Chain A
């Protein structure tokens, strides 16, 4: 893995894992919104998703169009082997950075 994931990318990958077969922008955005209640913009997740796909961490395929989407298809995302590796690396980095920190947050 040559590049460090951004926080957004990390969240996106995690959301895609959690959602399994039903991961597409609506559910992914919903998933992130559940964890991070500060809001966010639906339009802002497309470019990171595209870039993750460019780097081979995600793959995507088109679903069928439905009426409630105004006749548009869903683009479903799935994580790849590389995506999992990248997440693992991100996690290791995270843990390594936290290691040895004595500060305990006040509940």
Chain B
């Protein structure tokens, strides 16, 4: 051997490259071919030529070999696809459950991502958003601190004496009736300083943002308002009559502003502050104040300067206080304690984002594990022989892995597509709930799609790897015999199952509680008759001439001439927002609140208030208007336990009024049921009526509304007609409860659906594992029912176990929720049992889909292969 010199070999680098590019299926022979050819040429033409030939062949072969690899991958892909589709077609319900479960989980993720993306994008359109701050004042009160908007002087002072402040703007929210010809439009807008556009970056149709709103009679309309008022014609230069408060202003449209959908600052129009509140510079009123800092200015430095120069401009009712800056950018990011702002749209609670994303994460987690469980379950029952066959034919471990992974990815991508369809379907409901306008547009989906696609592929690979690994471990013969073992204990699956049941039970119980509380709020007797009562908003009229009272008698007489109208009453405060008066009773250190309302003589009649003692106001007693009050039961019990009739307010409450109590009405909810009924009193005051209540006779509401509208327009031409029905107003008080109960309802439905899909996957696994046992039991005479019961038992035990932590959790959660209400639906133990039982029944049904089938299997077949 030693005598023969070793053969020279082709250059190493070239050989390396060739080794890299040769497709795996050519590995055993092709580089040999190259080497043999190399020697062939070396012998004829010499080594130099051979090396050159080898190199050139390697380089020239790169495209061919690459294509070769791709070609076979496509062939393989087609084979995988065929197998996967064939498999799905054979068990379509299983594939549907598997895809559907994951789709629901991913849909939750899509929704949460869309929501958070929307939140993050809010207000981003302002240039240099990080330099915009709201200035607030914190006022010290005895034993308390109140955060308020600033006094009028603060804004101009900041702009003039602080070099760090680039611009400052004061904003005040105003309502206006805009008259275009005869048509009145009620719009909400802002009165602002001309520096508005130096602080905020709204796009203007025309005009230089720096020089706009200088003229005190100029107005800027939002795109939406402009469209509603003028349609498509150009509004710029048109003169409009603005009724603001008691004054009418002739205003000229200067420009149109675009308000992006994701803006927490929303307005229908902008008018100069100097026009509507000329005395603001003297600090007569307060206003929201926003500043823009110069680039590089440090807000902390500014805050440090505040005490000396600004703090003399604090409301006089406090004992002192300070000013501070709140970053505008944080308003929607849920950071910091931004106090209530009068000019910004309410922000959604940061708690909601957190809740939504944790629910989404939880659902996704469960869906992913179910997906894996189901994959294993189906693989175990159906694919065993196929895998054995593949192994016999020489498929290696990697190829088997690939087949499963491919199927996992295929299913998870199908689920992703399903998730987007599902999201599209629930988005309208979700938008209503979250008070958002989120859409499933490509621009909005943005990074969510690639991230979720990545996630889905990851889930698919993970889900595909597990059964692949579990089945692949087994030797082919064992697979054929069906004696393979995997995941025998399944501690993990079981824990997961209990967890899912727990979450489902928790959510179902909470849903029922929420629903019941909402029903209770809507259906409980408020103490007055809210049906067939129309509510007419007269506030604009009252503001114009303090004469709602002047108009109401006229309107009343007209309305009562129609047989459809039973009675009409006027009141100063609407039913849900009564005024409050602070009283200091003699001998009491703490001030107390007494709620009150000014009404007319028909109030009791229209609302159906029940009189308990004494009498109601009457036109037969002219002195009633100043010398009489009617109180509620709570008032009577608290302040006049010895009998209220004839007592004067001065002696009971220590007030200056000497009015005497003439009657007591049964307690009624002048406020929502969130709050407890407080002592309340009614005064007779037919002069100021900002609201009218109209009781309608008969059931033809539509005709009655027509009559009211006609008479209103005749009596108050040029004013917007704003009417609602009392029962609907009352329902609207509990809108939040309605939304929450439907949202939690949807979430629990999802959770239960996913849990059922998990149950199904596990049931398949268990019945496959126990196939032999079931066969033996059948042979020994067990009935189908007994065997199905055997499988059921495991799941029902899990459900019972899950109830152990779910009940106290649900109890605590509902108690916390219900503590927000002064009046609650009676607690009920049956809900806990019913919620658990409902889940158990659903689980039993799901399990039996599989268990009965397994129990019916012919034992001769299941026991044969041993």
Contacts and interface: CB of A to CB of B under 8 A. Distances in A.
B57 A70 contact: no
Interface string A49-79: 0100000000000100111111111110000
B29 A70 contact: no
B340 interface: no
A47 B9 contact: no
A83 interface: no
A67 B61 CA distance: 23
A41 B61 contact: yes
Interface stretch (A10-18, A23-31, A85-93, A96-104): A23-31
Nearest to A28: B33
B3 to A, nearest CB: 14
A74 B29 contact: yes
B249 to A, nearest CB: 84
B60 interface: yes
B731 to A, nearest CB: 72
A62 B37 contact: no
B64 A72 contact: no
Contacts of B35: 68-70, 72
Contacts of B9: 70
Contacts of A47: 64, 67-68, 71
Interface in B20-74: 25-26, 28-37, 39-40, 57-58, 60-62, 64-65, 67-68, 71-72
A70 B71 contact: no
Nearest to A67: B7
A41 B56 CA distance: 9
Contacts of B7: 67-68
A106 interface: no
A69 B36 contact: yes
Contact of A44 (B28, B32, B40, B64): B64
Contact of B33 (A42, A44, A67): A42
Given A46-B26, A46-B68, A68-B39, A73 B60 contact: no
Contacts of B26: 46
B395 to A, nearest CB: 17
Contacts of B33: 24-26, 29, 42, 69, 72, 74
A43 interface: yes
B61 A74 contact: no
B70 to A, nearest CB: 10
B22 to A, nearest CB: 8
B-side binding surface: helix, strand, loop or mixed? helix
A41 B60 contact: yes
A41 B33 CA distance: 12
Q: Please classify how large the interface on chain A is, using the bins under 10, 10 to 19, 20 to 34, 35 or more.
A: 20 to 34
Contacts of B72: 50
B64 A46 contact: yes
A70 B34 CA distance: 10
Contacts of A70: 9, 15, 31-32, 35
A-side binding surface: helix, strand, loop or mixed? helix
A43 B61 contact: yes
A49 B40 CA distance: 22
A90 to B, nearest CB: 22
Contact of B65 (A25, A26, A43, A69): A43
Nearest to A51: B71
A25 B68 CA distance: 15
A75 B29 contact: yes
A74 B33 CA distance: 7
Contacts of B36: 26, 66, 68-69, 74
Nearest to A49: B26
Contacts of A50: 25, 68, 72
Contacts of B58: 43
B29 A26 contact: no
A47 B9 CA distance: 26
Contacts of A25: 29-30, 33
Given A26-B40, A29-B37, A43 B31 contact: no
Contact of B32 (A41, A43, A69): A69
Contacts of B37: 26, 29-30, 42
Contact of A43 (B28, B29, B64): B64
Interface in B820-859: none
B61 A44 contact: yes
B391 to A, nearest CB: 22
A12 B146 CA distance: 93
Nearest to B39: A68
Nearest to A60: B29
Given A26-B33, A70-B32, A75-B29, A42 B71 contact: no
Contacts of B68: 46-47, 50
A25 B29 CA distance: 9
Contacts of A46: 26, 30, 64-65, 68
B267 to A, nearest CB: 69
B32 A42 contact: no
A73 B28 contact: yes
Nearest to A71: B32
A68 B9 CA distance: 8
A67 B67 CA distance: 29
A25 B67 CA distance: 18
A71 B64 CA distance: 24
A73 B29 contact: yes
A41 B59 CA distance: 9
A72 B7 CA distance: 14
Contacts of A62: 28-29
B64 A41 contact: yes
A74 B34 CA distance: 11
Contacts of A67: 7
Residue from A50, A68, A73, A75 whose CB has the most chain B CB atoms within 10 Å: A68
Contacts of A26: 33, 36-37, 40
Contacts of B15: 70
A43 B29 CA distance: 12
Nearest to B60: A41
Contacts of A68: 7, 35-36, 39
Q: Top 7 closest A-B pairs, CB basis?
A: A43-B61, A72-B32, A69-B32, A44-B64, A75-B29, A25-B33, A41-B60
25 contacts: A25-B29, A29-B33, A30-B37, A42-B34, A42-B61, A43-B57, A43-B65, A44-B60, A44-B64, A46-B65, A46-B68, A47-B64, A50-B68, A62-B28, A62-B29, A65-B32, A67-B7, A69-B35, A70-B15, A70-B32, A72-B32, A72-B33, A74-B29, A74-B32, A74-B36
Given A29-B37, A43-B58, 12 more contacts: A26-B36, A42-B33, A42-B34, A42-B37, A42-B57, A43-B60, A44-B60, A46-B26, A47-B67, A62-B28, A68-B36, A74-B32
Interface of B: 7, 9, 15, 25-26, 28-37, 39-40, 57-58, 60-62, 64-65, 67-68, 71-72
